[in-house]
Amino acid sequence: MIPGGGQPNMQQLLQQAQKMQQDLANAQEELARTEVDGQAGGGLVKATVTGSGELRGLVIDPKAVDPEDTETLADLIVAAVQAANENAQALQQQKLGPLAQGLGGGSGIPGLPF
């Protein structure tokens, strides 16, 4: 209900929607620029991803390389990338969560990824 029984100010609603859209775009750009790390094997393998989940770097300590056991190395790489992606998802929630609440908090608004 609108206080006083009046009609909503459509211009004001449009401006608020445009501001939220711009805030969302700014947050997504910031996520794409921000890098987060994940590691496995006590730091033997480190992965760097952007806040939006793009793999940017992978560092493998020579101690992790055993030509006779490439499976363990592969497992460490997967674990490090997964850890980095989990950190990226946490960053996304931190940056985009308040914006999602401002847009109705996942109330089924079409076209929004949350």
CA distance 83 to 45: 11
| CA angle centred on 33, ends 32 and 37, rounded to 5° | 90
pLDDT of residue 3: 56
Question: If you search the block for the tokens 């094997």, which residue do you land on?
Answer: 41
The separation between the first and the last C-alpha atoms of the chain, rounded to the nearest angstrom, is 26
Between 102 and 65, name the one with better pLDDT: 65
pLDDT score recorded for residue 109? 46
Q: Which pLDDT does position 96 carry in this prediction?
A: 82
- Report field, pTM of the whole predicted structure over 0.85: no
Domain boundaries, the chain: 31-99
Backbone dihedral angles phi then psi of residue 46, each to the nearest 5 degrees: -125, 135
> Is CATH 3.30.1310.10 the right assignment for the domain spanning 31-99?
yes
Q: What is the pLDDT of residues 1-55, one digit of tens each?
A: 455 555 668 888 888 888 888 888 888 888 888 999 999 999 999 999 998 889 9
